Amino acid sequence: MLWHQDSHYLGADTASQLLVSVWIPLVDTDTANGCMQVIPASHGWGLVAAEMDPDHQAWRPLEDPTLRGTPLSCEMSVGDVLMFTNLTVHRSLPNVSDHTRWSIDVRYHATGLTPERGASDLPGFVARSRSLPGDEDTYPSWYERYVESGVHTE
């Protein structure tokens, strides 16, 4: 996968917001099976200029981010979690092993934030809101939005 920031996918408007990704490996990960890599402190760079790479159908920075920071390979065991912000430059390494590297991504953002891209692809779920408890979702209400988004097909 190419180096990127999640705000490239969610929209430049999210660069001023805090979105937290939680990456959870379901198998042990290492450099052979495609562990995550991050560039420490890259969240402090702001949103870096990027373009859509037509060969990969993925965003990539216009300049090589490894010229500004040293990549850190995040080899992890089942039960570990990696948390990073929408501005952290990261990627997964290619999986050259003989098995699938399974993982789950969970993203958090404050209620009221509607990214210009991505919101219709994966509708959010309001799990808890102290200020607006009536806005909390039930599974059926979220599932209905999920089906209506067209992401889910039976």
- Is domain 6-111 in CATH 2.60.120.620, yes or no? yes
Question: Among 31-40, 49-58, 83-92, which is the least confidently predicted range?
Answer: 49-58
Q: Rounded distance, CA 122 to CA 124, Å? A: 6
Burial 137-152 (b: 16+ CB within 10 A, else e): beeeeeeeeeeeeeee
Mean pLDDT of 98-124: 77
DSSP 8-state symbol, 26: S
Contacts of 148 (CB under 8 A, 6+ apart): none
**Cα separation, 26 vs 3, whole angstroms:** 22
H or E element in which residue 93 lies? none
Q: Assess whether pLDDT exceeds 70 at residue 115.
A: no
Residues 20-29 have pLDDT tens digits of 999 999 999 9
pLDDT > 90 in the chain, percent? 60
Predicted confidence (pLDDT) at residue 126 exceeds the cutoff of 80: no
Q: Where in the chain is the domain with CATH 2.60.120.620?
A: 6-111
DSSP 4: B
